[in-house]
Structure 1
Amino acid sequence: MALYTPTEAQVASVREILQTFIPLELADFILMEAKYWPCIHCERSEKIQVHARFYPDLKAAWCYLVSPPVPGTRSHEKKIQRVEFRMRSHDQGWATHPGPWSWFEAFIIQPPASGESNPPWVEEALLHPIDLRAHSDGTAYDEHFSGSSTESNRRWHVSSNAIASRARQNHFISWTREENTGDRDANSPKGREGLGHELVRMLKPGDRVALLALAEQWGWENHVIRASMDIYYSI
Structure 2
Amino acid sequence: MMLPLIRRFRRLPPSSNNESSNPPGENAQRPAADDVTYYPNCMDVLKVRYLLHHIWQWTRNSDDLLPVEIVDMIVDAGEYWASTESVLEGETVIRKDQDQVLLTTVPLCYDVQTLGSASPKSLPHRTVHPCRRVIFTISSHDQGWGGGAGSRGQYGGSYSWFDAEILHAAHQRPQPVAPEEQGPFDFGPDHPHLLPNAHRLQSNRTAVGTWQFHTIVWDHLDDVAADSGEAEEIERSQGRGRATLDGSQVRALEAGDAIAVWGRARFGGWLNHVQRVSVRVFWAI
Normalising by the smaller structure, the TM-score range is 0.7 to 0.9
- Secondary structure of 1:15's counterpart equals helix
Which amino acid in the other structure matches residue 224 of structure 1? Answer: V
Question: Does the C-alpha gap of structure 1 residues 36 and 112 become closer, same or farther in structure 2, counting only changes over 3 Å?
Answer: closer
Which of 88, 94, 97 is equivalent to 2:145?
94
Residue correspondence of structure 1 range 25-104 to structure 2 within 5 A: 25-52=69-96, 59-71=97-109, 77=128, 79-97=130-148, 99-104=157-162
Alignment TM-score, normalising by the size of structure 2:
0.61
Which amino acid in the other structure matches residue 25 of structure 1? Answer: E
- The answer to which structure, 1 or 2, has the higher relative contact order (CA under 8 A, 6+ apart) is 1
- Secondary structure of 2:231's counterpart equals coil
Q: Residue 113 of structure 1: CA displacement?
A: 10
How many correspondences in the alignment? Answer: 203
The structure with more strand, counted as a fraction of residues:
1
8 A contact 2:129–2:252 mirrored in 1: no
1:212 correspondence with 2:262:
yes
What residue ranges of structure 1 are gaps of 5+ in the alignment? 53-58, 121-135, 149-153, 185-189
| Cα deviations by residue, 1:184-220 (Å, 9 ceiling, x for unpaired) | 6xxxxx9953425222122112111000111112211
1:172 correspondence with 2:215:
yes
Residue correspondence of structure 1 range 1-235 to structure 2 within 5 A: 3-20=37-54, 21=56, 22-52=66-96, 59-71=97-109, 77=128, 79-97=130-148, 99-111=157-169, 117=175, 139=185, 146-147=191-192, 156-177=199-220, 178-180=222-224, 182-183=230-231, 193-196=242-245, 197-235=247-285
Indicate the RMSD between aligned Cα atoms, in angstroms: 3.5
**Could you tell me which residue of structure 2 aligns to residue 127 of structure 1?**
none
Q: Residue 40 of structure 1: CA displacement?
A: 1.6
Q: Greater CA radius of gyration, 1 or 2?
A: 2
Question: Does the C-alpha gap of structure 1 residues 76 and 29 become closer, same or farther in structure 2, counting only changes over 3 Å?
Answer: closer
Which amino acid in the other structure matches residue 93 of structure 2? Answer: Q
Question: Does the C-alpha gap of structure 1 residues 47 and 32 become closer, same or farther in structure 2, counting only changes over 3 Å?
Answer: same
What residue ranges of structure 2 are gaps of 5+ in the alignment? 1-34, 57-65, 111-121, 152-156, 233-238
Q: Residue 9 of structure 1: CA displacement?
A: 2.0
Q: Residue 14 of structure 1: CA displacement?
A: 0.8
Which amino acid in the other structure matches residue 110 of structure 1? Answer: H
Question: Does the C-alpha gap of structure 1 residues 138 and 91 become closer, same or farther in structure 2, counting only changes over 3 Å?
Answer: farther
| Cα deviations by residue, 1:40-82 (Å, 9 ceiling, x for unpaired) | 2110102111111xxxxxx331110100101266995351000
Structure-2 separation of matches of 1:118 and 1:231: 28
Which amino acid in the other structure matches residue 259 of structure 2? Answer: V
Give percent identity, aligned residues only.
Answer: 25
